[in-house]
């Protein structure tokens, strides 16, 4: 949990200002911002670049019902472009793969791009085979042919907590394993990202391994200048 509504609007406004140079150079990388639910509408109002999309940090698996405090995918239609699902911090609190699968179905039904996280909280349990199994479980009940796009994020919780990203060669192994599942399920459009301890310094080293399509940025995204440095690296 970070940022009040005014803080989120100020942060995104400064990021938007910094992206003007990217637009002039026509090399603006696709950026998806995921502020808290409370700030989604105000942040939407300050977005100016076509390459900047908005995501919710979660969505509920039911479209309607007695789920006080939850936000359903239909409530997010027209407000966001994507939904984060199965974030490692939510999994740490007990969110299971079958729940993530139901949320993915709901998000896709509402026309949102699902951003699905895989990765284990314990380094000793974190293997490419385990990541494949988790992704298959999440996708096995989903009509993948109806998915216009899928974004898969390999983000092990231990890397986020320590602030030290996984080695690039290991990230490549995970990315290859996840792409195998994507290919098996014949998902037409999919991206594989890495998250966990990513900042401008780490990203330079991680980008030497061109096995991923981009990053999920955590704490570094709260500093607009740090965020823009990361964006510039991806745009090169």
Residues classed as catalytic: 87, 155
pLDDT score recorded for residue 4:
96
Residues 104, 70: contact at Cβ < 8 Å?
no
Work out the mean pLDDT of the chain and round it to a whole number. 91
pLDDT score recorded for residue 25:
57
Residue predicted with more confidence, 26 or 36? 36
Structure pTM? 0.94
Average pLDDT rounded to a whole number, residues 188-216: 86
Between strands 52-56 and 82-85, the pairing is parallel
Q: What does the pLDDT look like over 166-199, one tens digit per residue?
A: 888 999 999 999 999 999 998 989 999 999 988 8
pLDDT band at 3 (very low <50, low <70, confident <90, very high): very high
* Domains of the chain in sequence order: 5-235 (3.20.20.70)
Please write down the HEC assignment for all residues of 66-94.
CCCCCCEHHHHCCCCCEEEECCHHHHHCC
């Amino acid at each position: 949990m970070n940022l009040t509504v005014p803080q989120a609007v100020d942060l995104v406004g400064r990021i938007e200002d910094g992206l003007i140079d990217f637009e002039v150079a026509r090399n603006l990388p696709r950026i998806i911002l995921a502020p808290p639910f409370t700030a989604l509408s105000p942040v939407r109002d300050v977005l100016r670049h076509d390459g900047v999309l908005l995501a919710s940090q979660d969505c509920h698996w039911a479209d309607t019902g007695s789920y006080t405090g939850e936000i359903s995918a239909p409530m997010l239609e027209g407000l966001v472009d994507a939904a984060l699902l199965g974030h490692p911090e939510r999994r740490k609190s007990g969110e299971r793969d079958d729940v993530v699968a139901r949320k993915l179905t709901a998000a896709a039904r509402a026309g949102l791009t699902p951003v699905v996280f895989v990765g284990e909280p314990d380094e000793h349990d974190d293997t490419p085979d385990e990541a494949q199994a988790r992704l298959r479980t999440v996708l096995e009940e989903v009509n993948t042919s109806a998915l216009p796009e899928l974004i898969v994020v390999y983000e092990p919780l231990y890397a986020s907590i320590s602030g030290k990203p996984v080695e690039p060669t290991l990230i490549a192994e995970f990315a290859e394993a996840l792409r195998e599942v994507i290919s098996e399920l014949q998902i037409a459009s999919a991206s594989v990202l890495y998250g966990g301890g990513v900042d401008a310094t780490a990203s330079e080293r991680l980008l030497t391994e061109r096995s991923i399509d981009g990053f999920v940025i955590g704490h570094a995204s709260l500093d607009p200048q740090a965020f823009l440095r990361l964006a510039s690296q991806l745009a090169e």
